[in-house]
């Protein structure tokens, strides 16, 4: 009888917990606003009609977190000479702030945002309706669900450990992330200040989320279980503290990191966290960037690069046309429109576009794919923690 | 007599009210909303940004260390700027060194340069292997540049000194020029030693000017944003300005506001105490009776002194501009061995260079930014000088101590507010949904209002001294002859003070267009300004573009400064 009671109450508790979890999950569902629901006139437009409407508007303004937008603008301008495209290269963190402030102020803003930093975008911009979802019908069937909801994702980008392959012809000089906390790498690890750039904060947040993996790698490397210093809750936090204590060098942009790590002619090149795809510029910029993909427990993170329409977009048609354009044409590499993104180290989300050559295929690349919902809850804590160990 | 007072009084009271309202909105308003937006609604400070900044595990890195760094930079900048400025002023005004006129002209240029110009040039020269990648010019030549020389407090301070010694020079030179030559020769004739003359006569006379120069350099040093942002990060050298910017630009507004308030308080206390000791002479231009000056023969030291002065001018004025110019032509950042190109000035977009960014003269965004910047500068210059004139006129005519005192105080307060904190305050007042005033964020007008506010102290002082040159009797005569207030202003005050005021407006224009810290938080992509574009390019590693735009700003500023100084000839008495 007693046992029965116990079992019943336990299962009741479990049920209760499950139902709680169920509701909280339902609550946390991202309230995306669909751009075409706001402007139904576009829902049934053919492509030609859309072009016509966009040409009538004559302009489209885009904020993008990548400098590659300059090349996109060239291509778009060539394809639609009647439409002026105004492209601003603004980091995701700053974009989020600007989009929100401009929205609040009802000020002039962009039509299209091309933005990463999914945890903040999902949490703050989507639920407030600052950014709206638009998925061109043409590509809908080629995308997995997570790449069209809550926001359209046109590729996956990375922040992973890279090294200089000219200085290290025998392969990556780092096999385990914990090596970076040792004397050998003191003042020789570079990254962008994570308190200034969301992508980097997401990287460190992911290490905290994967504290168990970090702890296992510690033991693998040092041969003994990790001991946490006071105030460091888990192996992820401990790693951040140790990395900072080992004089990790903070720079202001990924291009600076690329230059630092990749520049040829260095004997004692640093390693650093940057975008895998920046390898594409090796020849032109005189870099020798290569990914340290085998660094345990993982070389870094992989995250979505998303496209959305702003609530106040003045050029609704042109905004749709640009997003459609940036999803590439129907050839297997996305054609000239997608070319700036069709580079080794970025991963197309369209299933009909094949992964670019010269990079590890997505299945073989062990970087962590972030879960924006989980990161969102932890980022601020990690940010504050960094402030204490800087 | 009573009817007379009444006739004067009415329009003046009205004007006084208008001025008070305007100053209230522009000066008191932003500060009040800055403070208001950091106070938790429930009055519970335990989870507030105040606690984060002052009493949490983060405080050390968020506030205390940056505070120490800000003060260190400010004090060192002030001491060195004053010493160098005084030395140059002495050479130019009192010595018989050759080329002293040329030195005097060149010494006024660094102040007209944007405050990041020399920081950018510094980084081109001294950048070392701490940040890996392509080295600066010195490291590229195989020299070992230590970290302390490449990054952090030393380069930040030195680049600021290179700008602001120029300001100390202008102020001290004016004071020295006002020093009666006969006074000095009288002392010498009565047998006082050179040392005695210097310490007993010259020094006391110029002491207020020295202190003014010191305080101005301190104010610029404590609030400067560009230099620590460009030269500090690799060694984690943070000042209050960079922390404040970091917090606000990543969306942590409250924390940013708290840091802004703390920065205002620290700066204000020191500047206020300092200014009290100058007996309120503050930074008003010291004018003196021009009597024939006697130059001090330098004798054997002539060569050394001239060489030192020349070297100082060379490294602060000529060299940075040369370095910046050369780097804009180099194919690869800071490398002169890899070929030269005009691409960064005139090139079409080329995907293989700078991610396809066209040269600055082909970049629509920059052309728009140039237009906005000039429009912004002109609007601020006109607005600030009009407001300054109104305020000065009310003070001149009004007999109410309360009105005059309040106007003087409010016109002085912006001087105590670091630019970046002012920017934060304007966001709090004109950019938040909870504010009672119209939301101006993302418009041209928020920039103009902030610019006017920041320029009020200078515009007010200039207007006061320009009006001060028109004697009261002239105006009284007009009153007796029955001229209206408007007539008196239009026919007597305006024409007679026009030169001084136009010159003042032009200097407001210069300080406005070359400034970064005030606008860095307020600019949005729809209203680009050159100074912010430069900063952005520098941050993104587009060295050549950043340097090219800096040169464009420098060119505009220097030309206008020289014109303004010509108009205000009396402010440069040492050149006569």
Calculate ∠ Cα B430-B435-B439, nearest 5°.
40
Torsion of the alpha carbons at A132, A138, A144 and A145, rounded to the nearest 10 = 40
Residue A50 is encoded by which pair of tokens? 């859309």
B539: nearest CB among A71, A252, A263:
A252
Q: What are the helix (H) ranges across B413-493?
A: 419-430, 444-468, 472-480, 485-488
* Residues of chain B contacting A237 with CB distance shorter than 8 Å: none
Contacts of residue A14, defined as CB under 8 A and 6 or more positions apart, other chains included, come to none
pLDDT of B68 > 90? The answer is yes
Q: Sign of dihedral through CA atoms A351, A357, A362, A368? A: negative
Q: Is B95 helix (H, G, I), strand (E, B) or coil?
A: strand
Q: Hey, are the CB atoms on B132 and A193 less than 8 Å from each other?
A: no
CA-nearest of B467, B575, B559, B564 to B508 is B564
At which residue do the structure tokens 């040093």 appear? B221
Please list every residue in chain A whose beta carbon sits closer than 8 Å to the beta carbon of residue B131. Answer: 190, 249, 251, 256, 260
The token pair that represents B452 in the structure block: 């006017």
Structure tokens given for A312: 């106040």
pLDDT bracket for residue A5 (50, 70, 90) = very low
Whether A173 has its CB under 8 Å from any CB of chain B: the answer is: no
Total domains present in chain A: 2
* CB–CB contact A71 B355 (8 Å): yes
Which of A71, A249, A251 faces B351 most closely, judged by CB atoms?
A71
CB atoms A384 and B58 under 8 Å: yes
Contact B448, B483 (CB under 8 A): no
Helices in B116-152 by DSSP H: which ranges? 117-126, 137-140, 147-150
User: H-type helices in chain A, by residue range?
Assistant: 2-28, 35-38, 47-57, 69-79, 92-105, 118-120, 137-140, 198-209, 211-222, 235-245, 254-262, 282-285, 316-326, 335-338, 372-389
CATH number assigned to the domain with residue range B1-36+361-527, chosen from the 4 options 1.10.510.10, 1.10.8.50, 1.10.3720.10, 3.40.30.10:
1.10.3720.10
In 3D, which of A337, A316, A379, A366 has the Cα closest to residue A155? A337
Return the pLDDT at A1. Answer: 44
Q: Do B442 and A109 touch (CB under 8 A)?
A: yes
Nearest CA to A293 out of A171, A170, A169, A157 is that of: A171
Residue B563 has pLDDT above 60, yes or no: yes
CA distance linking residue B386 with residue B154, whole number of Å: 40
Residue A264 is predicted with a pLDDT of 87
Helices B153-178 and B203-223, packing angle to 10 deg = 150
Residue A313 near residue A111, CB atoms below 8 Å: yes
Q: Are residues A213 and A235 in the same domain?
A: yes
Q: What mean pLDDT is predicted for residues B437-448?
A: 86
DSSP conformational letter for B136: -
Q: Is the pLDDT assigned to residue B151 strictly greater than 70?
A: yes
- Measured between CA atoms, the residue of chain A closest to residue B523 is A98
Nearest chain A CA: its distance from B246 CA (Å):
6
Of the CATH numbers 3.40.50.720, 1.10.3720.10, 3.30.470.10, 3.50.50.60, which one belongs to the domain with range B52-301?
A: 1.10.3720.10
A88 and A176 share a domain?
A: no
* Band of residue A32 on the pLDDT scale cut at 50, 70, 90: confident
Is residue B282 over pLDDT 70? no
- The DSSP H or E segment spanning A87 is strand A84-89
Contacts of A302 (CB under 8 A, 6+ apart): A156, A157, A158, A160, A347, A365, A367, A368, A369, A370
Residues in A touching B349 (Cβ below 8 Å): 70, 74
Paired residues of A63 in beta bridges: A88, A113
**3-class SS of residue B401:** helix
Give the DSSP H/E element, type plus range, for residue A271.
strand A271-274
Q: Which two tokens stand for residue A324?
A: 């459609």
Averaged pLDDT, B81-87: 93
Residues 6+ apart with CB under 8 A from B367: B361
Of A101, A109, A250, the CB nearest to B233: A250
Where exactly does CATH 1.10.3720.10 map onto chain B? 1-36+361-527, 52-301
Phi and psi at residue B56, to the nearest 5°: -140, 170
Residue A71 CB contacts under 8 Å (≥ 6 apart), including other chains: A339, A340, B351, B355, B356
3-state secondary structure B29-53: HHHHHHHHCCCCCCCCCCCCHHHHH
State in Å, rounded, how far the first CA of chain A is from the last one: 59
> Quick check: is A16 in a domain?
no
Distance from CA of B131 to the nearest CA of A (A): 6
d(CA B133, CA B130): 9
Band of residue A245 on the pLDDT scale cut at 50, 70, 90: very high
Q: Which of A187, A281, A388 has its CB closest to that of B130?
A: A187
A:280-299 residues touching chain B, CB 8 A cutoff? 281, 284, 286
Q: Do A198 and A96 touch, CB atoms closer than 8 A?
A: yes
Summarize the confidence of residues B219-245 as an average pLDDT. 89
Rg of the Cα trace of chain A? 23
Give the whole-angstrom CA distance, residue A59 versus residue A75.
15
By the 8 A CB rule, do A39 and A316 touch?
yes
Alpha-carbon dihedral of residues B202, B205, B207, B213, nearest 10 degrees?
-100
Q: Do residues A175 and A262 share a domain?
A: yes
| Domain co-membership, A230 together with A161 | yes
Task: Pick from A89, A124, A289 the residue to mutate for testing the B interface (most B CBs within 10 Å).
Answer: A89
* A385 and A241 within one domain: yes
Q: Mean pLDDT, to the nearest integer, of A139-166?
A: 92
Q: What is the DSSP letter of A360?
A: -
Beta bridge pairs of residue A115? A306
- Tell whether A105 is within 8 A of chain B (Cβ): yes
Gap between the Cα atoms of B493 and B468, Å rounded? 10
Q: Could you tell me the two tokens for B194?
A: 């050179």
Is A246 in the B-facing interface, judged by CB distances under 8 Å?
Answer: no
- Three-state DSSP class for A358? coil
Distance from CA of A19 to the nearest CA of B (A): 32
Other CB atoms within 10 Å distance of the CB of residue A19: 10
Contact B433 A104 (CB under 8 A): yes
pLDDT per residue as tens digits for the range B532-555: 888 888 877 788 888 898 898 888
Are the Cβ atoms of B234 and A93 closer than 8 angstroms? no
Q: Give the gap in angstroms from C-alpha B461 to the nearest C-alpha of chain A.
A: 35
Q: Which residues in chain A have their CB less than 8 angstroms from residue B233's CB? A: 193, 250-252
Of A253 and A183, the one with more pLDDT: A183
Q: Which of A37-41, A195-199, B94-98, B526-530 has the lowest mean pLDDT?
A: B94-98
**What would the pLDDT profile of A274-328 be if each residue is shown by its tens digit?**
999 888 888 888 899 999 999 989 999 999 999 999 998 999 999 999 999 999 9
DSSP strands (E only) in A129-200? 131-132, 152-164, 189-192
Same domain? A112 vs A203: no
Judged by CB atoms closer than 8 Å, whether chains meet at A108 and B524 is answered as yes
A7 within a domain of the structure (yes/no): no
Q: How far apart are CA B59 and CA B73, in angstroms?
A: 20
- Report whether pLDDT(A12) > 70: no
Among A326-330, B117-121, B187-191, B280-284, the range with the most confident prediction by mean pLDDT is: A326-330
> Scanning every residue of chain A, which has its alpha carbon at the shortest distance from the alpha carbon of B130?
A187
pLDDT tens column, A84-136: 998 888 888 888 888 888 888 777 889 999 999 898 898 888 888 899 999 99
Name the token pair of B150.
């490449």
Question: Contact A128/A100 with Cβ under 8 angstroms?
Answer: yes
Residue ranges of A 62-91 with Cβ closer than 8 A to chain B? 63, 67-68, 70-71, 74, 86, 88-90
Answer whether A337's CB lies under 8 Å from A77's CB: no
Interface contact A190-B526, CB threshold 8 A:
no
The answer to whether B355 contacts A93, with C-beta atoms less than 8 Å apart, is no
Kindly indicate the confidence band of residue B334, based on its pLDDT and cuts at 50, 70 and 90.
low
Top pLDDT among B373 and A7 is at: B373
A331 in the same domain as A213: no
- φ, ψ for residue B436 (rounded to 5)? -75, -20
Interface contact A259-B351, CB threshold 8 A: no
C-alpha span between A359 and A351 (Å, rounded): 17
CA distance B28 to B518: 17
- Indicate if the alpha-carbon torsion angle A252, B158, B141, B121 is positive or negative: positive
A42/A142 same-domain check: yes
| Number of helices and strands in chain B (H, E) | 29, 0
Residues A76 and A50 in one domain: yes
CB pairs under 8 A between A and B: 140
Question: Does a cis peptide bond (omega within 30 degrees of 0) precede residue A150?
Answer: yes
Interval B287-329: pLDDT, tens: 434 455 567 777 777 888 889 999 999 988 888 888 888 888 8
Report how far residue B244's alpha carbon sits from residue B241's, in angstroms, rounded to the nearest whole number: 5
- Both A287 and A333 in one domain: the answer is no
Residue B336: its pLDDT value, please? 63
B8: confidence class by pLDDT, cuts 50, 70, 90: low
- Which parts of B80-175 are beta strand (E)? none
Give me the percent of chain B exceeding a pLDDT of 70. 89
pLDDT in tens, A337-385: 898 888 888 999 999 888 888 788 888 899 999 999 899 889 989 999 9
Query: pLDDT tens, B120-139?
Result: 889 888 988 888 767 788 88
Would you state the pLDDT for residue B108?
A: 81
Determine, for residues A74 and B349 on separate chains, whether the beta-carbon distance falls below 8 Å: yes
Tell if the CB–CB gap between A74 and B433 is shorter than 8 Å. Answer: no
Taking the CA of residue B575 as centre, how many other CA atoms within 13 Å lie in the half-sphere pointing to its CB?
18
Cβ-defined contact of A253 to B541 (cutoff 8 Å): yes
What radius of gyration, in Å, describes the C-alpha atoms of chain B?
25
* DSSP code at position B492: I
What is the rounded average pLDDT for all residues in chain A? 87
Beta-carbon neighbour count of residue B199 at 10 Å? 12
Do residues B416 and B426 touch, judged by C-beta distance below 8 A?
no
Range of the domain at A317: 35-156+303-358
Query: Which one of B233, B234, B332 has the shortest CB-CB distance to A286?
Result: B332
In angstroms, the separation between the Cα of residue B181 and the nearest Cα of chain A is 54
Nearest to A343 by CA among B355, B333, B332, B133: B355
Residue B344 confidence (pLDDT): 79
Within the 120-139 window of chain A, which residues sit less than 8 Å (CB to CB) from chain B? 120
Q: How many CA atoms lie within 13 A of A334 on its CB side?
A: 27
Same domain, A169 and A288: yes
Does residue A317 share a domain with residue A203? no
pLDDT in tens, B393-423: 888 888 788 888 888 888 888 887 888 888 8
């Amino acid at each position: 009888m007693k046992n029965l009671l116990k079992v019943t109450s336990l299962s009741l508790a479990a049920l209760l917990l499950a139902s709680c979890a169920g509701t909280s999950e339902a609550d946390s569902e991202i309230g995306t606003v669909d751009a075409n629901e706001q402007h139904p006139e576009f829902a049934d437009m053919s492509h030609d009609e859309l072009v016509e409407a966009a040409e009538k508007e004559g302009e489209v303004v885009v904020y993008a977190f990548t400098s590659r937008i300059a090349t996109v603008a060239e291509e778009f301008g060539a394809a639609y000479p009647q439409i002026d495209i105004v492209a601003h290269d603004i980091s995701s963190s700053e974009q989020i702030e600007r989009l929100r402030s401009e929205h609040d102020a009802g000020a002039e803003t962009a039509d299209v945002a091309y933005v990463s930093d999914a945890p903040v975008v999902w949490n703050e911009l989507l639920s407030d309706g600052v950014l709206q979802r638009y998925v061109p019908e043409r590509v809908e069937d080629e995308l997995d669900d997570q790449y069209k909801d809550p926001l359209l994702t046109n590729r996956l980008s990375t922040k992973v450990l890279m090294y200089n392959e000219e200085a290290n012809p025998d392969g990556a000089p780092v096999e385990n992330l914990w090596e970076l906390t040792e004397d050998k790498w003191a003042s020789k690890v570079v990254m962008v200040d994570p308190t200034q750039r969301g992508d980097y904060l997401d990287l460190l947040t992911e290490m905290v989320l994967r504290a168990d993996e970090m702890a296992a790698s510690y033991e693998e490397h040092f041969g003994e279980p990790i001991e946490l210093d006071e105030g460091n809750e888990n192996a992820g936090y401990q790693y951040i503290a140790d990395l900072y204590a080992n004089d990790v060098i903070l720079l202001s942009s990924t291009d600076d990191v690329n230059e630092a790590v990749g520049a040829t002619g260095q004997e004692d090149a640093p390693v650093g966290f940057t975008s895998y795809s920046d390898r594409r510029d090796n020849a032109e910029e005189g870099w020798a960037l290569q990914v340290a993909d085998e660094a345990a427990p993982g070389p870094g993170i992989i995250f979505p690069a998303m496209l959305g329409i702003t609530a106040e977009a003045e050029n609704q048609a042109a905004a749709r046309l640009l997003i459609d354009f940036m999803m590439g044409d129907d050839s297997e590499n996305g054609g000239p429109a997608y070319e700036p993104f069709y580079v080794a180290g970025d991963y197309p989300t369209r299933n009909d576009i094949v992964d670019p050559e010269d990079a590890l295929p997505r299945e073989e690349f062990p970087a962590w794919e972030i879960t924006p919902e989980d990161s969102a809850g932890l980022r601020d804590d990690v940010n504050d923690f960094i402030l204490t160990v800087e | 007599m009573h009817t007379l007072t009444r006739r004067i009084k009415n329009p003046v009271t009205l004007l006084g009210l208008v001025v008070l309202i305007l100053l209230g909105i522009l000066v008191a308003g932003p500060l009040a909303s800055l403070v208001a937006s950091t106070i938790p609604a429930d009055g519970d400070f335990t989870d507030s940004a105040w606690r984060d900044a002052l009493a949490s595990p983060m405080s050390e890195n968020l506030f205390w260390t940056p505070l120490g760094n800000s003060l260190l930079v400010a004090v060192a900048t002030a001491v060195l700027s004053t010493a160098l400025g005084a030395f140059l002023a002495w050479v130019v005004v009192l010595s018989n060194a050759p080329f002293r006129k040329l030195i005097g002209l060149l010494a006024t240029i660094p102040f007209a340069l944007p405050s990041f110009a020399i920081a950018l040039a510094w980084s081109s020269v001294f950048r070392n292997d701490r940040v890996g990648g392509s080295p600066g010019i010195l490291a590229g030549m195989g020299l070992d540049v230590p970290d302390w020389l490449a990054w952090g407090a030393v380069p930040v301070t030195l680049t600021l000194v290179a700008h602001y010694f120029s300001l100390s020079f202008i102020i001290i030179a004016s004071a020295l020029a006002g020093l009666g030559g006969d006074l000095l020769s009288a002392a010498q004739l009565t047998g006082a030693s050179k040392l005695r003359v210097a310490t007993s006569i010259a020094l006391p006379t110029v002491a207020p000017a020295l202190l003014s120069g010191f305080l101005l350099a301190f104010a610029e040093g404590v609030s400067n944003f560009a230099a620590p942002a460009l030269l500090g990060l690799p060694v984690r050298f943070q000042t209050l300005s960079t922390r404040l910017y970091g917090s606000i630009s990543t969306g942590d507004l409250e924390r940013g506001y708290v840091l802004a308030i703390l920065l205002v308080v620290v700066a204000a206390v020191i500047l206020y105490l300092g200014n009290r000791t100058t007996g309120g002479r503050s930074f008003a231009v010291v004018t003196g009776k021009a009597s024939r000056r006697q130059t001090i023969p330098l004798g054997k030291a002539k060569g050394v002194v001239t060489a030192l002065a020349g070297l100082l001018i060379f490294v602060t004025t000529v060299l940075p501009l040369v370095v910046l110019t050369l780097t804009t032509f180099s194919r690869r950042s800071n490398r002169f061995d890899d070929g030269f190109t005009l691409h960064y000035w005139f090139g079409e977009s080329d995907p293989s260079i700078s991610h396809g960014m066209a040269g600055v003269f082909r970049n629509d965004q920059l052309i728009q930014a140039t237009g906005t910047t000039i429009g912004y500068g002109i609007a601020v210059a006109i607005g600030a000088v009009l407001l300054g004139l109104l305020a000065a006129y009310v003070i001149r005519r009004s007999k109410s101590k309360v009105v005059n005192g309040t106007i003087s105080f409010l016109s002085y307060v912006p001087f105590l507010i670091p630019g970046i904190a002012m920017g934060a305050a304007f966001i709090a007042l004109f950019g938040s949904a909870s504010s009672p005033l119209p939301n101006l964020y993302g418009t041209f007008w928020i920039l103009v209002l902030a610019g006017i506010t920041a320029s009020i102290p200078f515009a007010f002082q200039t207007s006061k001294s320009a009006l001060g040159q028109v004697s009261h009797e002239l105006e009284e005569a007009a009153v007796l002859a029955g001229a209206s207030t408007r007539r008196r202003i239009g026919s007597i005050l305006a024409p007679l003070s026009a030169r001084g005021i136009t010159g003042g407006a032009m200097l407001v224009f210069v300080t406005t267009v070359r400034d970064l810290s005030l606008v860095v938080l307020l600019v949005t992509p729809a209203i680009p300004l050159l100074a912010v574009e430069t900063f952005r390019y520098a941050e993104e590693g587009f060295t050549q573009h950043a340097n090219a735009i800096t040169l464009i700003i420098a060119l505009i500023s220097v030309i206008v400064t020289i014109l303004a100084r010509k108009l205000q000839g009396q402010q440069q008495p040492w050149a006569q």
